[in-house]
Structure 1
Amino acid sequence: MPYLAPNGDIEELTARIDALRENIAKLEQAVDRYSRWERAFFPPNGLVRKIVSLFSRSRTRGAPPASPAEPAPSAERENHERGEHLQMGPGCTIAQQVFFDHVDGGCIKIGSSVGLRFGVQLYPYGGRISIADNVIIGAYSTIYGHGDTSIGENTIIASHVVLIPSNHRFNALDVPICHQGISAKGIRIESNVWIGTHAVILDGVTIGTGAIVAAGAVVNRDVPPYSIVGGVPAKVIRQREESLPPLHSFGRRVDIERVQKREAWLLRGTLASLLEAPPVKAGAEPDAEEGSPGEERFPGPDRGLLGSSLFAGSTFCRKARVLDIGSTDGWGPRLLALYAREVVALSPATATPERARSFRKQDNIRWLQGDALAPATAGLAEGSFDVVTAMEAIEHFSRADGRRLVAAAAAMLKPGGVFIATSAFPDTREEADALCATNPHHLYIVTSGEMKALLAEHFSESTLIDNMFIIAIKKS
């Protein structure tokens, strides 16, 4: 339809133009609102971004040349400050088409190392959304903030989850529900929570530390800490309990390395100070076998043992009584003690644990000297430990003494206790002998077949991962 017919009415045309100008003004206001901070998070080819770009060009015609455009934001952003409405810590990963809404005010505060997957939507709606450090929010999840929503650190939220901290009022029967306003108590999710896909969390709910919400659950009441809930409405299924993970869940070295990297990152500040080595005594001969992580001479392969101790500690030693066989400089027990109730570090009788004791004091470590093949001679009772570790130890014994070492470890364990050891376990005797010849400190390298047979004598279940990592469970 033409704006003006040959004999059209000028007044009608003027009214049309005024209405168009009014609509353009409204759209320009919306563009201004988005350009403050949301604009940076729209996908490059999104419809709204096209509109923003179009009207930005139309409004700058005839104006002085603009300064060069800022580069597009990267997927990983650090130290974000988007005014008072959005704050974001370092190390966050924001996927495409993540939407931050500010049409109705409110604020969003995001901690460090938070991951927002594709299509996540955050709507403060005048309230506050607070997301602590190390939180992952899955694709297409939607979080509202009417009555304030807080999400604790190390929480995992799966895809298509909805958090709604408000309810419509419906007390009056003669007033449309949409005109009766809302009530908003808020939602609080504490730390280390896992919320399954398509779950819905309703207003007024607190989800306790360590809780798990099953997929598809509708949660309308508080969830106790360390409980597992599911259903519509959600009910407590059972409480979480400390238990050993199934050994088949660690079938590859990469499964262990994943845990190592996680723990190293979570404890990065603690590790930096804990593993700082004291100075080497003047005149002392450097010995790579006794190097410490803070020293340049500390051998590269042994740095991997730090990760092995982190894996053993975080996976099997929490609140446990642990015996570490073959401790020398003591950094292995130091790491285990971050998780265990008590660590007894048994050094060879010929070793001096002075350097180990010179590290920062940890009250839950007891340093002993004694015979690794007969720990009872050091005053340790058999069957009194939950976990026994022997990291890079068995290769320092003869073939016969290596067998005695494994037997001694099994004797010190309670029924159902865990033995964890690392070394190289080649498939053939030729490979083992060649490897043994490369290090004067090594007396005998056990093959994978020999070790499996030896473990079968003392343990009900065992696994040998990538010919270098042993996990075994004592017969009950």
Structure 2
Amino acid sequence: MPLLDATATHPITLPDGTLYRDTVYLKNVISHPRMEIGEYSYFTHCGKPEDTAEILAPYLGHSVRERLVIGKFVQIARGSYFITSSANHPMTGFTTYPFRIFKPETFGYKDLPVKDTVVGHDVWIGHDAAIMPGVQIGAGAIVAAASVVARDVPPYAVVGGNPATVIRMRYSPEIISALLDIAWWDWPVEKIETNLAFLETGDLAALKMA
């Protein structure tokens, strides 16, 4: 029996057989025109599955210009959320008060710049992290708990703090380049599970041969 079921709503079953309902596969509970989500990416929260999109990205409306793009195998811990560009206030004048949102005919700031927020594959976002508008997080990165990510994060970096800065790189540039070339997240799930021991132990030579 495979470890992963791409069709599951709640992918975790505890050793006693209890279905753990706080964790959901995002792709299977979110239907949002401005979100793109890869398979096996999960989020843990206490809300209803149908409320997941609003909990994860509370300011991302259905008619906004920006997108939230989340890759495959992303792990998002409880309390984390995305503040997308639609939450921005105008900052080019002498006031940041959003006067236009209080009348339907002027609602929104179509002239404000927007940028997609993109999370790469196999990213781990720790408890209570906040991801700010337009941030790009590279594959394999780790975001420490309670961090505020206000700038782009390189692949396989460990970042933390407010604002989050690079604490260290997980691997050397040569290994990072090799892992990005291997792109195991694009393999069929059967191949991933066959080579799981190499992924878990960091056997790069074996992964190259897989």
- Fold equivalence (TM over 0.5): yes
Matched residue type, 1:169: P
Contact 1:170 1:177 in 2 (8 A): no
Structure having the higher helix fraction is: 1
Alignment partner, residue 115 of structure 1: 25
Contact 1:198 1:216 in 2 (8 A): yes
Alignment partner, residue 163 of structure 2: 233
Contact 1:138 1:159 in 2 (8 A): yes
Give the CA deviation at 1:176.
3.2
Contact 2:141 2:153 in 1 (8 A): yes
Contact 2:82 2:132 in 1 (8 A): yes
Alignment partner, residue 142 of structure 1: 56
Matched residue type, 1:214: A
Give the whole-Å Cα distance in 1 for the aligned partners of 2:81 and 2:199. 32
Answering whether residue 123 of structure 2 is matched by residue 213 of structure 1, we say no
The alignment partner of 2:200 has SS state of: helix
Matched residue type, 1:134: Y
Q: Is there any run of 5+ residues in structure 1 with no aligned partner, and where?
A: 1-77, 79-89, 96-113, 243-264, 272-306, 321-336, 342-361, 363-476
Answering whether residue 50 of structure 2 is matched by residue 131 of structure 1, we say no
The alignment partner of 1:93 has SS state of: coil
Alignment partner, residue 169 of structure 1: 90
Give the CA deviation at 1:217.
0.7
Alignment partner, residue 197 of structure 1: 127
Matched ranges for 1:24-423 at <5 A: 91-93=7-9, 115-116=25-26, 128-139=34-45, 141-143=55-57, 144-145=59-60, 146=64, 147-166=66-85, 167-173=88-94, 176-179=97-100, 181=109, 182-241=112-171, 267-268=189-190, 270=191, 310=195, 312-316=197-201, 318-320=203-205, 337=206, 339=207
Contact 2:90 2:96 in 1 (8 A): no
TM-score calculated relative to the size of structure 1: 0.29
Give the CA deviation at 1:171.
2.4
Contact 2:89 2:96 in 1 (8 A): no
Q: Pick closer, same or farther for the CA change 1:311–1:233 going to 2, 3 Å.
A: closer
Q: Pick closer, same or farther for the CA change 1:173–1:192 going to 2, 3 Å.
A: same
Which has the larger Rg?
1
1:392-420 Cα deviation digits (max 9, x unpaired): xxxxxxxxxxxxxxxxxxxxxxxxxxxxx
Contact 1:201 1:218 in 2 (8 A): yes
Matched residue type, 1:235: T
Q: Is there any run of 5+ residues in structure 2 with no aligned partner, and where?
A: 12-23, 47-54, 101-107, 173-186
Contact 2:198 2:204 in 1 (8 A): no
Matched residue type, 1:198: D
Matched residue type, 1:211: A
Q: Pick closer, same or farther for the CA change 1:177–1:210 going to 2, 3 Å.
A: same
C-alpha root-mean-square deviation of aligned residues, in Å?
3.5
Give the CA deviation at 1:170.
2.9
Give the whole-Å Cα distance in 2 for the aligned partners of 1:232 and 1:175. 22
1:221-241 Cα deviation digits (max 9, x unpaired): 100000000100110000002
The alignment partner of 1:150 has SS state of: strand
Matched residue type, 2:69: S
Contact 2:125 2:145 in 1 (8 A): yes
Give the CA deviation at 1:164.
1.7
Matched residue type, 1:315: E
Matched residue type, 1:177: P
Contact 1:207 1:225 in 2 (8 A): yes
The alignment partner of 2:154 has SS state of: coil
Give the whole-Å Cα distance in 2 for the aligned partners of 1:317 and 1:211. 15
The alignment partner of 2:199 has SS state of: helix
Give the CA deviation at 1:178.
4.1
Give the CA deviation at 1:211.
0.4
Give the whole-Å Cα distance in 2 for the aligned partners of 1:224 and 1:175. 31
Matched ranges for 1:433-444 at <5 A: none
Give the whole-Å Cα distance in 2 for the aligned partners of 1:222 and 1:130. 19
Give the whole-Å Cα distance in 1 for the aligned partners of 2:154 and 2:68. 18
Q: Pick closer, same or farther for the CA change 1:115–1:236 going to 2, 3 Å.
A: same
